[in-house]
Amino acid sequence: MKLLVVGGGGREHAIIRCLKKNPAVEVIYALPGNGGIAADAVCVPIGATDIDKIAAFAVENKIDYAVVAPDDPLVLGCVDALEAKGIPCFGPRANAAIIEGSKVFSKNLMKKYGIPTARYEVFDDMDAALSYLDTAPIPTVIKADGLALGKGVIIANTREEAKTAVRDMMQGHIFGKSGDHIVIEEFLTGPEVSVLSFTDGKVVKPMVSSMDHKRAGDGDTGLNTGGMGTVAPNPYYTQEVAKQCMEEIFLPTIAAMNAEGRTFKGCLYFGLMITPDGPKVIEYNCRFGDPETQVVLPLLESDLLTIMRSCTNGTLADTEVKFSHRHACCVITASQGYPVSYKKGFPITMTEEAAAHTYVAGAKLEDGRLLTSGGRVTGTTAVADSLEEAIREAYRISHGVQFENAYRRSDIGARALAARKDK
């Protein structure tokens, strides 16, 4: 089979490595991929949002199956475009990807169908938003409606901060059109859990839970990033919580999307907060999370391609989705200064052991040399029988990835370890 994967980060590298385990796979094209993915796939310089070119490439190269991984091509209708050319795809159509593409849509969906989430108000008028903030409970959370490169959420600890965020979004257009509509919502507390799930629009099969580490600095300090590391499973996601999530969140969400005529097929990501009142949805993503995928897929024991195709064909109920009971930890190695400003173009070296455990996110090939080209450069994952050992091994192996100005958090997994000891 000839496969195509749209995207070019660590998540896509993890997906490609996992797909390659199926012996029926002859070739995988990555559009655009990156310098590190080139070791596992044929990288083609077509951008992930260049939808017409992606569809034309798929036809010309007689692609049997395509996986669209990032949010923006999904929201822009990449799956619709490929399907129109007769190419079967993993991923939601645009009318379902809106569950991530519009926070106003997803909040209204949850309210309409009684899915637990933070209380909220929607505004498209700045003055109305500002006067609401005169009496809103503080802290409060301001969210731009549309995609904003993961930066469209501001947690305001004072009224002034909240008003500044509203002005920045609605008047300063710091997130472009994404800020024309905003959501102002209740600040929730509790541990966060990421649950990625497979769905064919009929049944939902959750993957092993995970914990992201979004802040740049140790002890969860510093700016929000795309994620500095992950562990799986997440100790806060007990069997009891999992059962509650299935009944109150996962199945109702699939049913709600069907009732709206927006059947969701693909990977639906539930960003959850385990609040004192039970699990609530913080956000939906219409795709695999990154770096969650880099810690979840190494624990998958069933065949990824078979599962993905069953999501497309509507046969997920009859398809095995089995995860190992072991533990995994992924440590991101980033460019010093990420997420603000950082230098690029440093040569990367990896030991053989590191290369085998490392997914590449931000690197390009130049004259046969691998050079840093992004903020998050690599993700190194280890799987072990205990969480302690997975963390120790991920760190040990990650030191085999070297480049100038490399930066890692030193405490990935520490919170998960502490949570387990609390119990």
Positions touching ligand GLY (CB under 6 A) are 150, 212, 227, 285, 289-290, 292
Q: How far is the CB of 144 from ligand AMP (least distance, A)?
A: 10
Do 284 and 147 contact (CB within 8 A), yes or no?
no
Do 297 and 199 contact (CB within 8 A), yes or no?
no
Query: x/- site string to ligand AMP, residues 121 to 160, per CB under 6 A?
Result: --------------------x--------x--x-x-----
Which one, 10 or 279, has the nearer CB to ligand GLY?
Answer: 10
Interface with ligand AMP in residues 190-249 (CB under 6 A): 192, 214
Alpha carbon distance 145, 134 (integer Å): 21
Instruction: Provide the 3-class DSSP secondary structure of residue 80.
Output: helix
Closest to 232 measured CA to CA, from 330, 376, 307, 356: 330
Alpha carbon distance 89, 264 (integer Å): 13
Contact between 303 and ligand AMP per CB under 6 A = no
Which one, 147 or 354, has the nearer CB to ligand AMP?
Answer: 147
Which one, 213 or 364, has the nearer CB to ligand AMP?
Answer: 213
Contact between 282 and ligand AMP per CB under 6 A = yes
Closest to 7 measured CA to CA, from 88, 51, 70, 53: 70
Closest to 377 measured CA to CA, from 10, 105, 51, 66: 10
Q: How far is the CB of 149 from ligand GLY (least distance, A)?
A: 10
Which one, 252 or 289, has the nearer CB to ligand GLY?
Answer: 289
Residue with tokens 């017409």: 52
User: Which of 283, 292, 303, 393: binder of ligand AMP (CB under 6 A)?
Assistant: 283
Helix pair 387-398, 414-422: axis angle to 10 deg: 170
- What are the backbone dihedrals phi and psi of residue 61, each rounded to the nearest 5 degrees, phi first? -100, 15
Q: How far is the CB of 6 from ligand AMP (least distance, A)?
A: 22
Residue with tokens 């209380």: 119
Burial of 62 per CB tally in 10 Å (0-12, 13-18, 19+): exposed
Residues 342, 37, 228: CA angle, nearest 5 degrees: 45
Q: How far is the CB of 209 from ligand AMP (least distance, A)?
A: 15
Partner whose footprint covers residue 342, from ligand GLY, ligand AMP, none (CB < 5 to 8 Å by kind): none
Contact between 174 and ligand AMP per CB under 6 A = no
Number of residues that bind ligand AMP (CB under 6 A): 14
Which one, 70 or 370, has the nearer CB to ligand GLY?
Answer: 70
Q: How far is the CB of 187 from ligand AMP (least distance, A)?
A: 5
Partner whose footprint covers residue 182, from ligand GLY, ligand AMP, none (CB < 5 to 8 Å by kind): none
Partner whose footprint covers residue 289, from ligand AMP, ligand GLY, none (CB < 5 to 8 Å by kind): ligand GLY
CB atoms within 10 A of CB 393: 20
